[in-house]
Structure 1
């Protein structure tokens, strides 16, 4: 039985090595893709800023965060609080 356990142990160690190798490869691939995505986002942000500068809108707020519009006064909040 000791020989059988030794073989199982060797197989388990080999399986773990294969698993670790695959995990490392997948991790590196994911990190590379995240880095590439970050670079693309940075390029997109720069392109947007360049377009805004060309249009003379450097100081305007982001279109994702439109300024609060005040209505008839019924729903105005006191911002000084």
Structure 2
């Protein structure tokens, strides 16, 4: 009769568990790295969009000034 103790004492099981643990840790690290990369890209794009909006606002204000239109700012 095969007991749990016999199963746990088998030489290959701890190695398989260690291999599985290493695989899962590696997989999680890769996922974390990819999410960090995507997060960095999103933040960079948001910063770039903010700069473009600032430039657009400045250009509109300049055009309004050239056209002699008051932009309503005090």
Q: TM-score range by the shorter chain?
A: 0.7 to 0.9
Unaligned regions of 5+ residues in structure 1, if any? 61-81
Report the equivalent of 2:52: 40
> 4+ residue runs of structure 1 moved beyond 6 angstroms?
none
Indicate the structure (1 or 2) with the bigger Cα radius of gyration: 2
Report the equivalent of 2:42: 30
1:57 correspondence with 2:69: yes
Distance 1:6 1:59, change over 3 A: closer
Per the normalisation by structure 1, the TM-score is: 0.69
- Structure 2 CA distance, aligned partners of 1:8 and 1:57? 69
Unaligned regions of 5+ residues in structure 2, if any? 1-12
The count of corresponding residues between Structure 1 and Structure 2 is: 61
CA RMSD of superposed structures (Å): 1.4
1:2 correspondence with 2:14: yes
Is the helix fraction higher in 1 or 2?
2
Shift of residue 59 of structure 1? 4.1
- Structure 1 CA distance, aligned partners of 2:29 and 2:71? 56
